Structure 1
Amino acid sequence: MGRCAVFQGDDSSYLAFQKALHRIRPLGGVSSDFLRYYFEYLHVTGGFSEFVTGSTIKHLPQQQLKRLPVRVPSPNEQRRIVAALEEQLSRLDVARGTLQVTIRRIDRYLQATLHRMTATYPSAQLREVLASGLTNGRSVPTRAGGFPVLRLTALAETYADVTQYKEGDWEEDDARPFLVQQGDFLIARGNGSISLVGRGSLVRDTSFSVAYPDTVIRARPDVRKVLPEYLRIIWSSLAVRRQIESKARTTAGIHKVNQKILAAVEFPLPDLAAQRDVCDQWSKIEQQSRHLARTVAVSERRSAMLRRSLLSEAFAGRLVPQDPADEPAAALLARIRAERDAAGVPKSRGRSARRATARRESGPEAPPPPRLDTLPLTAATQPTLDLEIPS
C-alpha cells in the first residue's frame, strides 16, 4: 500500500504517508496516543486502502484523510487501551531490537572471518583476473513472446536467479552477444540504495538461455587466475564494498558505478589451491549463517504478526475490560462536537466553482470510498468522529 509511519509530538499525532506529513490535533476527549495506535492499526490491517489515491505511487490526500471515520470510546477506555498496548508492544520492541542486533552481529562475524581467511594474500585488481573485458548489457523493451532478458531483481545476494526475467523485444540472434554463461559474474550498475549498487551475483543455473540487461555489467572470470566462486565470496567483503561505495556516483537519486570503477576494485588473491580451501571453509560458514538468518527472519515475522494481533484485539474491544461506569460514547461524541463548534473549527471547504465545472465536463463523479464499518472498536453502534486537521 505504500510506506506509512505514525508518531506523536506535543499534543498532536502525526501521520507520514509516502512523502506527505499530516498533523492531526484532536480536541478534548480524544487522546493523541490513542490516535497514534489507531493509525498504526489501520496501516497494518490495510484500513487506509479505501482512502488512498494513485496507481503506481500511493497517496493519502488530506481531503481523503478527513473522511476517515475514527471509532471513539470513552476517555477511560482510551487510557486503558493505550496502557495495555504500551505494556505489550514495549516488550515486542525490545525483542525486535535484540533480533536486529543479532543480524548485525552475524554480518560482523562473517566479515571478520573472511578478513582473517584472506588478509595475508597479495591483492589484484578485477581487470587482472578476467577472461575478457567488462561488458554492459543492452536495454530491451518488453514484448510478449520475445527472447528473455534478466531483471535487476535476478541479482540476489549470492547467486543469480535466472528465473527472474522478462520477455524482451528482440530475437535470439540479437541477444546472442549478451547471453549469460555458467561462471559469469553479474554486477548491478545502479541502485537507489548505496548498499546495493555494485552488488555481484554468480551465475550457476544455465538450464535455459537468457540475456543480461543494460542495468548489469558482466564480468567473465579467467578460471586460470580466479575461481568464480572465490570471486563471489571476496566481492561481498567489507573492503570491496568500501571501494565501490566510495567511488559510486549519484544521479537523480540513483547510485551508479561504471566499468572503470569496477575494473580498479582490489581484493586479496591467493593461488588457486588456497582459493579452493577458502571456498570449502566458507561454504560451511555460510550454511551456518543462513540457518541463523532464517531463524531470525521467522522470529521477526512472528513479532510483526503478534503486533498486528494486539492492535486488532485492542480496536475490536477485546484487549481491555469494559466498564459500565464509563461515560457513554454518544455523550462523549456530543461533548466533542459542542467543543468543536465553540472553538470555531472551520468545516471542510467546499469545492470551487471551477473545479465543479471541470468535474461536470469530465463525466459523473466516482462514488465515495466506503466507510470503515468493518473495523469496530467496542461495538457495531460505536459512534464515529470525523477528523479535524489543522491547517
Structure 2
Amino acid sequence: MSDHFDALWQAVLDGVASGALGCVEAQAPQERLVQEVAAVRGGIQKHSRRQPDKDAYPFLRVANVGRGTLDLGDVHEIELFDNEIDRYRLEAGDLLVVEGNGSPEQIGRAATWDGSIEDCVHQNHLIRVRPGPELRPEYLNLVWNSPTVAQRLRRAASSTSGLNTLSTRKLKELVIPVAALPAQNSLVEAANRAYARIVAGHRRVNDGLVHTTALRRALLSEAFIGGLVPQDPDDEPAEDLLKRIRAEREAADAERKAARRAATQAKRKNQPKRKVPAPADAPPPPAPTTDTPLPEGEQATLPLEFNA
C-alpha cells in the first residue's frame, strides 16, 4: 500500500481507538490496563534440546507476525515436553505481539492468530495477549496497531540501558482504550468498510497508472509514424526520413573521423626530427679548417719571413 493510502488506514485505526470513526455514535472508550481485560503470556525459548524430534509442533516466530497480518509461508517446528502443548497452544483470536525490533517503529506490532494451523505455539520473542469477555479480538487488533497505542508501546519499551524491548509485565501494565462491546462491533464494521474502500481506491489508482503508461507508449508510437494528425501525401514518409537522418549522421561521423586522422598525420609530419645525441665515448669531430684544397700534383708553399 502506498504512503498516501497507508496514512488513510492509520487515520482509520486512530478513529477506532478514539471511538470516533465516521458515523459511528458511541461513548468515548475507557482507558483500561491490559491485565484487566486480557491474559498475557510469554512464549517458548528455542535451544538445542528443542530440536524437533518425537513431539514436534508448529512454531511461530517474529518473522511470521506483521502489523495486523500473518505470514505463514515458512512455519518452523519445535520439540515440546510433557504437557507443554496445553500451556502454550494458541487459540483463534489470540493477539501475538512482537517484544522487540531493531526499528522502534516496529516494536509492539501485532497480529491476531487465525487458528489455521492446529496445535501451534509461539517463541519467547512473541507475547500472547488473549482477550477476555470484554474484548472482541478484531477490535483489539485494530486498537493495538493504531498510532495511539503504538506510541504507548514505544514509550513502554524504552529503557535507560538502551535496549528497547517489551515484557509480559510491561504489557500487563499498558493502558489501552476499550469501548463497550456494542460500540466495538460497530467500530469494527466501519473499519472493515473503510479498509475495503481504501483497497479499492488503491487498486483503481494502480490500474489508472498502468493504463496511463500504456496510453503514453501508444501515443509515442503513433507520433513516430505520423499517425496523430493527417499526413500530406507529398511529405517524405517518416520511415524514409528516419533512414535519411541515420545515413546523414553516419556520413557526418565518417567525415569527422577522416578529418581527425588527417589532422593527426599533418601534425606528425610537421614535427621537427629529433637529433640523436652522440655516444659519450665517440671521438670529437675534426676541427674546422679554412684551407682550400690544392689541385692534384701541386705542393703548398710556406711563407718565409726575413728580418733585416
| TM range, smaller chain | 0.5 to 0.7
Select between 290-299 and 255-264 the one with higher mean Cα deviation. Answer: 290-299
User: 1:227-251 CA distances to partner (integer Å, 9 max, x unpaired)?
Assistant: 1111111112221011111232379
> Displacement of 1:291 after TM fit?
3.5
Evaluate the alpha carbon distance shift between residue 147 and residue 297 of structure 1 in structure 2; reply closer, same or farther with a 3 A threshold: farther
Evaluate the alpha carbon distance shift between residue 268 and residue 160 of structure 1 in structure 2; reply closer, same or farther with a 3 A threshold: same
**Residue aligned with 1:168, SS:** strand
Q: Which amino acid letter does the alignment assign opposite residue 98 of structure 2? A: A
> Displacement of 1:140 after TM fit?
2.0
> Displacement of 1:261 after TM fit?
2.2
Q: Which amino acid letter does the alignment assign opposite residue 246 of structure 1? A: R
Q: Does 1:138 align with 2:138?
A: no
**Residue aligned with 2:111, SS:** strand
1:81-160 to structure 2, matched below 5 A, reads 101-111=3-13, 113-114=15-16, 115=18, 116-117=20-21, 120-130=28-38, 132=39, 134-141=40-47, 143=51, 146-160=56-70
User: 1:10-51 CA distances to partner (integer Å, 9 max, x unpaired)?
Assistant: xxxxxxxxxxxxxxxxxxxxxxxxxxxxxxxxxxxxxxxxxx
Point out the structure with max Rg over C-alpha.
Answer: 2
2:115: which partner in 1? 205
- Structure 1: how far apart are the matches of 2:210 and 2:165? 33
**Percentage of matched positions with identical amino acids:** 18
> Displacement of 1:120 after TM fit?
2.2
Q: Choose which of 164, 167, 180 in structure 2 pairs with 1:255.
A: 164
1:93: which partner in 2? none
User: 1:188-209 CA distances to partner (integer Å, 9 max, x unpaired)?
Assistant: 1111121211111111224411
- Structure 1: how far apart are the matches of 2:206 and 2:61? 25
Select between 234-243 and 136-145 the one with higher mean Cα deviation. Answer: 136-145
- Structure 2: how far apart are the matches of 1:202 and 1:190? 18
- Structure 2: how far apart are the matches of 1:171 and 1:152? 22
How many residue pairs get aligned? The number is 211
Q: Does 1:238 align with 2:144?
A: no
> Displacement of 1:266 after TM fit?
2.1
Evaluate the alpha carbon distance shift between residue 172 and residue 140 of structure 1 in structure 2; reply closer, same or farther with a 3 A threshold: farther
Evaluate the alpha carbon distance shift between residue 290 and residue 205 of structure 1 in structure 2; reply closer, same or farther with a 3 A threshold: farther
Gaps of 5+ in 2: 212-245, 261-308
> Displacement of 1:268 after TM fit?
2.2
- Structure 2: how far apart are the matches of 1:108 and 1:222? 25
2:187: which partner in 1? 278
Evaluate the alpha carbon distance shift between residue 205 and residue 272 of structure 1 in structure 2; reply closer, same or farther with a 3 A threshold: same
Select between 168-177 and 197-206 the one with higher mean Cα deviation. Answer: 168-177
Select between 268-277 and 169-178 the one with higher mean Cα deviation. Answer: 169-178
Q: Choose which of 199, 216, 219 in structure 2 pairs with 1:290.
A: 199
Scaled by the length of structure 1, what TM-score is found? Answer: 0.46
Say if 2:14 and 2:143, in contact at 8 Å, map to a contact too: no
- Structure 2: how far apart are the matches of 1:258 and 1:293? 37
Q: Does 1:227 align with 2:136?
A: yes
Say if 1:162 and 1:210, in contact at 8 Å, map to a contact too: no
Evaluate the alpha carbon distance shift between residue 166 and residue 296 of structure 1 in structure 2; reply closer, same or farther with a 3 A threshold: farther
Say if 1:248 and 1:257, in contact at 8 Å, map to a contact too: yes
> Displacement of 1:164 after TM fit?
4.0
Evaluate the alpha carbon distance shift between residue 111 and residue 270 of structure 1 in structure 2; reply closer, same or farther with a 3 A threshold: closer
Evaluate the alpha carbon distance shift between residue 101 and residue 177 of structure 1 in structure 2; reply closer, same or farther with a 3 A threshold: closer
- Structure 2: how far apart are the matches of 1:274 and 1:251? 39
Evaluate the alpha carbon distance shift between residue 170 and residue 121 of structure 1 in structure 2; reply closer, same or farther with a 3 A threshold: closer
**Residue aligned with 1:190, SS:** coil
Q: Does 1:266 align with 2:175?
A: yes
- Structure 1: how far apart are the matches of 2:67 and 2:171? 18
**Residue aligned with 1:123, SS:** strand
Evaluate the alpha carbon distance shift between residue 290 and residue 172 of structure 1 in structure 2; reply closer, same or farther with a 3 A threshold: farther
User: 1:148-197 CA distances to partner (integer Å, 9 max, x unpaired)?
Assistant: 21121221322444554202243574443211011211111111121211
**Residue aligned with 1:279, SS:** helix
Say if 2:67 and 2:109, in contact at 8 Å, map to a contact too: yes
> Displacement of 1:257 after TM fit?
1.1
- Structure 2: how far apart are the matches of 1:246 and 1:300? 40
2:128: which partner in 1? 218
* TM-align CA RMSD: 3.7
Evaluate the alpha carbon distance shift between residue 273 and residue 257 of structure 1 in structure 2; reply closer, same or farther with a 3 A threshold: same
Say if 1:140 and 1:169, in contact at 8 Å, map to a contact too: no
Segments of 4+ in structure 1 off by > 6 A?
250-254, 296-302
Q: Choose which of 90, 93, 109 in structure 2 pairs with 1:183.
A: 93
